Amino acid sequence: MTFPLFLAPEIEASRRLAYTANAIDRQSENRSDDSVATALADPRTRLMLIRDGRVWLKKNEAGFDPWYKRAEAEALSAHLGAAVLLGWDERGPVVAATGGIDAEALPPEVKAIDYRSVTVQGLIDPAALGALAQAGALSAWHATHAFCGRCGKPTEMRAGGYKRVCTGCNAEHFPRTDPVAIMLTISGDRCLMGRGPHFPPGMYSALAGFIEPGETIEAAVRRETFEEAGIRLGRVTYFASQPWPFPFSLMIGCYGEALNDDIRFDAKELQDCRWFSRDEVLAAFAGNHPDSVFVPPKTAVAHHLIRNWVEMA
Ligand SMILES: [Zn+2]
């Protein structure tokens, strides 16, 4: 008998998304305060260097290499004293550190490339992209939690970067992840997409918003869809999730079943919001929509929400 809890496909939809192939064993519970020093003393250790939302990649004939040995990192003035131990993979310890010089001062073989471009252009392999999502999120969290939220005194990194402890009141602070619901609303053979004012011309996407304290994922999906588009939802189902290092979110992709179809969109949030037929979405994917409509790239969960729906016909 099939256990009805596990009717999901064998290949999780999340595995098709960028940033989800992280192969690092974090060992979050088995760290000591000298974890980073121990890792940096290990000749197998590889470092990823980031700074200001960019990852530093070594350009060579084969492409781009995101990994540095300790001596290479030191030559680029990496801040090893504030490095974070991401964990261990089959090649040894993996560490993330902030680069110590401005991008303009880098040697010609090192390129500082923003996370989005690295991802969309597929410059590094999926496992390294997963490590980048972890490194980017942790780095952003450390950069914004130098002081205690309880007493205001400085905090110090501990456990290889997996917590900060207050020097005044000993409060422990742990890295945070902000959940964001992103949902494709379906009505018959149409889906609901909107465009924000900052989108490139022609791009439409699934609606999205932060999950608020005290909310379930389903409640957030229903609230955001009603607030942004005036559409009430019935059933809501989970599709896939994706770490999103801008700066430390988890995108949670869902489908919602529309109960009404008269859109009243929030003009403060959206420039436009409308129904798209399956044929229109197919045309958008094929690049021949009459209004030049297109959807986000395949690195985004929205792309897969839309594609999965349109291919289910
Ligand atoms: Zn404190």
Read off the pLDDT of each residue in 77-94 and give the average, rounded to a whole number: 97
pLDDT in tens, 149-160: 999 999 999 999
Output the CA 170–ligand 1 centroid distance in Å.
6
Distance in Å, CA 289 to ligand 1 centroid = 56
Ligand 1 centroid – CA 138 distance (Å): 20
CA 162, CA 174: separation in Å to the nearest integer?
7
Exposure pattern of 112-130 as b/e (b: 16+ CB <10 Å)? bbebeebbeeebbebebbb
Question: SS in 3 state form for 72-100?
Answer: HHHHCCCCHHHCEEEEEECCEEEEEEECC
CA 172 – ligand 1 centroid, Å:
8
CA 167 to centroid of ligand 1, rounded, Å: 7
State the pTM of this model. Answer: 0.93
Mapped onto helix, strand or coil, the DSSP state of residue 194 is strand
CA–centroid distance, residue 134 to ligand 1 (Å) = 26
Q: How many residues are there in the chain?
A: 313
Averaged pLDDT score across all residues of the chain: 95
- Distance in Å, CA 98 to ligand 1 centroid: 25
Task: Please tell me the predicted confidence (pLDDT) of residue 2.
Answer: 53
CB 103 within 8 A of CB 112: yes
Compute, in angstroms, the gap from residue 146 CA to the centroid of ligand 1: 11
* Beta-ladder partners of 157: 164
pLDDT of 10 > 70? The answer is no
What percentage of the chain exceeds 90 in pLDDT?
Answer: 93
Q: Which pLDDT tens digit goes with each residue over 214-266? A: 999 999 999 999 999 999 999 999 999 999 999 999 999 999 999 999 999 99
Please check the confidence at residue 170 and state whether its pLDDT lies above 70. yes
CA angle centred on 241, ends 161 and 54, rounded to 5° = 50
**14-50: per-residue pLDDT in tens?**
999 999 999 999 998 889 999 999 999 999 999 999 9
What pLDDT does 67 receive?
A: 98
Q: Look at residue 1 and tell me whether its pLDDT is greater than 50.
A: no
